[in-house]
């Protein structure tokens, strides 16, 4: 076999090795293809164009165009019946692929298949996601980042009615697909038990393996993996090939290390892939963003794409007819040469007639357009969308209200999917609430890239298997960037993954390097009244509470620190953890509430004061904004800002601090 690979005269050196590994896919007679449970583990079929005639979702979105997407429950049902609510009433043959909610209850959920008078499945709504019911098993069901999700496919030959015995429900989404009459779909209750358990166990094993090498699931029947390994040096402005072959086949895995090579706020290293001699790339994206980075740092560990164990990986099948080339180019002007280790897993099974080619498209709107949603992709042709990685940033520190916006999918000219909030698209819920969508979290098919309110940043990823958005003529995938009306301007970018029979008709070009880089806010607001971490406060005689008060006709929220006498080691103190996006000199100021019981505050570093005493005493309660308290050289990342109550005004009745915000503004 030829290993024509990997000589590129512009790199300093390239070392290529080739090995052959036979992988048994474990396929048997039980794997005769039918839509449903097999779609959860047959990654070898992910490129196959879907036969469904409709892909859609039922959700609780606000039909008036507002933001009441489940809060009030007015739209959280299809119709009311005696003793409860009908959540879906679907005609088959079809499959329910995904059920999601951030507001599960203990009400009984019932599934009626193919005209049943009694439900085949009865489960408390909350229990559906916890892995305690024999039908809804982990890790095909789960929860985290504020959301609860199920990917257990529920098949029906003629119909499926989903009913909840409750007077009221809040947020929910049900994704499904309808297939042509005569499709050999067996209703869920009639699935042959032994055969179903066989497929279920394969799906469970795959989902349990996310973050590890799952390439064996991507190999088609009769195929074997050929491993191409190389070391390359990446230099600024010089493209380097990491894989090139003139044989038909498919890529079933890509491994690149170290991840630090793509950790770059400038998004300066570009990944490009070309199929079958096409002069234009099919994959065109900043390399880090392709692997699920967020603002220059690794953030994803999913089943198909991510970073784990010091390696960036991708397991999307990428079939082609005759040739393939993958390359990297660094557009980092001042970057040092970087050595990369690359492994590409190739299977000599050519693209089949019913398979699409793989594409990955990066788009950015900075700023977004007032009155129009952000567009992931708009294209004609036939294909299916299989994933999204989205990074969103506001222009004002402390505000992520734009993430109230809904996703919308228009397929073949019809709006068929309307979401209920941006984090909901990514199986999350309740952004900015502690213990929910408030930090980086990864699950097999979805996750949160991170949540940093003070930087105005958040984002998520979602990959689609059975629930892929299949289209025959066209698809438009968008997401709002405001609660309603798209009236907030911000910075949105995303990678969209898809398979298409022909090259997508949308624009692929990347903007210039200066228009790709992540933008760090210079004025960062830390809302102490909400969830900024506190490293420590007085060892004795000090208490903390969170309060609100109406001042000047406004509701003002603040962290209230009350101290008496002396602390163990001197002045009473409180130390906040303030994370900054870049190192530099920062002016530090405060928003606080003055009053008759407040003390004098001072900023300290290494037991030395670094700014003036700020006297917060006033005869009446009043807001004090932008009170300067010092200037410091601060690091990128976490910084401890230590404030001490160094005394009080002669007329003050106490030693208090009512603090609303800490403001760090870069001045160099």
* Three-class secondary structure of residue 126 per DSSP: coil
Asked if 640 and 579 touch (Cβ cutoff 8 Å), the reply is no
Q: Please give the residue range of the domain that contains residue 284.
A: 1-24+210-355
Within-domain flag for 481: no
What is the pLDDT at residue 12?
34
The DSSP secondary-structure symbol of 49 reads P
Residue 189 and residue 261 share a domain: no
- Could you tell me which of 186, 224, 250, 226 has the C-alpha nearest to residue 46? 250
Within-domain flag for 482: no
Residue 64 and residue 189 share a domain: yes
Q: What is the mean pLDDT of each run of 10 residues along the chain (668 residues)?
A: 33 47 49 90 98 98 96 98 97 97 98 97 98 96 98 98 98 98 95 96 98 98 96 92 98 98 95 97 98 98 98 98 97 84 98 98 98 98 98 96 97 98 98 94 98 97 98 98 96 98 95 94 96 95 96 95 94 97 97 97 96 97 96 97 96 96 96
- Domain's final residue, options 208, 235, 254: 208
Interatomic CA distance for residues 484 and 404, integer angstroms: 8
Residue 4 and residue 115 share a domain: no
> Residue by residue, what is the 3-state secondary structure of 450-495?
EEEHHHCEEEEEEECCCCCEEECCEEEEEECCCCCCCCCCEEEEEE
Residue 388 forms beta bridges with which residues?
462, 496
Within-domain flag for 423: no
Kindly state the tokens that stand for 361. Answer: 């498209």
Within-domain flag for 143: yes
CATH number at residue 91: 2.60.120.1390
What is the pLDDT at residue 114?
97
CA–centroid distance for 332 within its chain: 26
Interatomic CA distance for residues 164 and 82, integer angstroms: 11
- Could you tell me which of 257, 201, 243, 258 has the C-alpha nearest to residue 30? 201
Rounded to a whole number of angstroms, the distance between the first and last alpha carbons of the chain is: 59
CATH number at residue 530: 2.60.120.260
Asked if 320 and 226 touch (Cβ cutoff 8 Å), the reply is no
- Domain's final residue, options 355, 372, 394: 355
Interatomic CA distance for residues 130 and 139, integer angstroms: 9
Q: How far is CA 666 from CA 454, 520, 579, 580, 584, in A?
A: 14, 10, 13, 10, 7
Interatomic CA distance for residues 133 and 124, integer angstroms: 9
What is the pLDDT at residue 20?
56
Residue 250 and residue 191 share a domain: no
Within-domain flag for 479: no
- Domain's final residue, options 304, 331, 355: 355
Asked if 528 and 659 touch (Cβ cutoff 8 Å), the reply is yes
pTM: 0.94
Interatomic CA distance for residues 587 and 19, integer angstroms: 58
Residue 247 and residue 274 share a domain: yes
Interatomic CA distance for residues 255 and 12, integer angstroms: 21
Residue 659 and residue 545 share a domain: yes
Residue 244 and residue 180 share a domain: no
Residue 657 and residue 539 share a domain: yes
Residue 342 and residue 246 share a domain: yes
Within-domain flag for 262: yes
State the residue for tokens 């499959």: 95
Number of domains in the chain: 3
- Could you tell me which of 482, 309, 303 has the C-alpha nearest to residue 392? 482
Residue 56 forms beta bridges with which residues?
176
Residue 196 and residue 69 share a domain: yes
What is the pLDDT at residue 2?
34
Interatomic CA distance for residues 327 and 306, integer angstroms: 18
Within-domain flag for 170: yes
Within-domain flag for 568: yes
Interatomic CA distance for residues 548 and 28, integer angstroms: 65
Q: How far is CA 536 from CA 435, 562, 571, 577, 652, in A?
A: 21, 14, 14, 9, 25
Q: What are phi and psi of 84, to 5 degrees?
A: 170, -160
- Could you tell me which of 213, 195, 108 has the C-alpha nearest to residue 155? 195
> Residue by residue, what is the 3-state secondary structure of 87-122?
EEEEECCEEEEEEEECCCCCCEEEEEECCCCCCCEE
The DSSP secondary-structure symbol of 289 reads H
Residue 325 and residue 293 share a domain: yes
Q: How many CB atoms lie within 10 A of CB 431?
A: 23
Residue 120 and residue 247 share a domain: no
Kindly state the tokens that stand for 453. Answer: 């309110």
Asked if 618 and 666 touch (Cβ cutoff 8 Å), the reply is no
């Amino acid at each position: 076999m030829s290993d024509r690979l990997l000589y590129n005269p512009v790199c300093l050196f390239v070392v290529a090795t080739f090995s052959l590994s036979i992988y048994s896919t474990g396929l048997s007679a039980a794997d005769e293809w039918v839509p449903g449970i097999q779609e959860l583990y047959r990654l070898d079929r992910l490129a196959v164009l879907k036969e469904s005639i409709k892909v859609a979702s039922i959700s609780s979105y606000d039909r008036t165009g507002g933001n009441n997407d489940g809060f009030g429950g007015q739209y959280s049902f299809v119709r009311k019946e005696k003793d409860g609510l009908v959540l879906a009433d679907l005609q088959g043959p079809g499959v329910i692929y995904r059920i999601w909610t951030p507001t599960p209850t203990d009400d009984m959920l019932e599934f009626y298949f193919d005209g049943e008078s009694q439900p085949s499945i009865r489960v408390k709504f909350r229990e559906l996601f916890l892995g305690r019911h024999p039908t809804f098993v982990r890790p095909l069901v789960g929860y985290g980042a504020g959301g609860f999700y199920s990917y257990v496919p529920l098949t029906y030959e003629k119909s499926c009615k989903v009913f909840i015995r409750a007077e009221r429900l809040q947020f929910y989404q049900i994704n499904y697909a309808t297939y042509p009459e005569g499709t050999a779909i067996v209703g869920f209750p009639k699935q042959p038990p032994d055969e179903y358990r066989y497929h279920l166990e394969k799906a469970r094993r795959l989902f349990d393996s996310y973050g590890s090498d799952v390439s064996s699931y991507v190999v088609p029947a009769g195929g074997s993996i050929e491993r191409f390994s190389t070391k390359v040096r990446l230099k600024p402005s010089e493209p380097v090939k990491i894989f090139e072959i003139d044989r038909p086949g498919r890529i079933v895995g890509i491994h690149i290390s170290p991840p630090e090579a793509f950790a770059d706020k400038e998004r300066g290293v570009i990944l490009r892939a070309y199929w079958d001699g096409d002069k234009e790339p099919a994959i065109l994206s900043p390399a880090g963003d392709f692997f699920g980075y967020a603002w220059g740092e690794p953030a994803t560990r999913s089943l198909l794409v991510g970073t784990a164990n010091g390696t960036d990986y991708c397991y999307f099948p990428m079939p082609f007819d005759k040739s393939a080339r993958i390359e990297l180019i660094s557009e980092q002007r001042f970057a040092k040469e970087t050595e990369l280790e690359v492994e590409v897993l190739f299977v000599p099974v050519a693209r089949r007639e019913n398979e699409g080619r793989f594409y990955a498209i990066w788009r950015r709107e900075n700023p977004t357009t007032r009155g129009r949603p952000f567009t992931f992709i708009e294209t004609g042709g036939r294909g299916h969308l299989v994933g999204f990685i989205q990074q969103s940033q506001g222009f004002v520190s402390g505000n992520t209200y734009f993430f109230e916006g809904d996703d919308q999918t228009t397929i073949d000219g019809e709006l068929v999917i309307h979401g209920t909030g941006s984090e909901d698209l990514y199986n999350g819920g309740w952004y900015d609430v502690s213990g929910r969508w408030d930090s980086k979290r990864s699950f097999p098919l979805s996750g949160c890239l991170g949540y940093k309110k003070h930087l105005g940043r958040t984002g998520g990823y979602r990959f689609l298997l059975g629930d892929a958005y299949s289209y025959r003529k066209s698809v438009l995938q968008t997401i709002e960037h405001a609660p309603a009306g798209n009236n907030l301007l911000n910075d949105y970018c995303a990678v969209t993954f898809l398979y298409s029979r022909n090259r997508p008709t949308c624009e692929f070009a990347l903007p210039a390097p200066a228009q790709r880089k992540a933008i760090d806010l210079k004025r960062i607001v830390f809302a102490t009244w909400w969830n900024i971490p506190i490293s420590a406060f007085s060892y004795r005689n000090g208490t903390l509470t969170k309060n609100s008060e109406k001042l000047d006709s406004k509701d003002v929220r603040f962290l209230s620190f009350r101290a008496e006498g002396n602390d163990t080691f001197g002045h009473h103190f409180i130390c906040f953890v303030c994370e900054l996006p870049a190192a530099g000199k920062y002016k530090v100021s405060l928003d606080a509430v003055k009053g008759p019981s407040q003390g004098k505050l001072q900023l300290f570093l290494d037991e030395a004061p670094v700014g003036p005493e700020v006297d917060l005493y006033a005869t009446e309660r009043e807001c004090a904004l932008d009170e300067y308290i010092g200037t410091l050289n601060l690091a990128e990342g976490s910084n401890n800002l230590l404030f001490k109550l160094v005394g009080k005004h002669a007329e003050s009745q106490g030693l208090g601090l009512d603090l609303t915000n800490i403001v760090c503004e870069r001045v160099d």
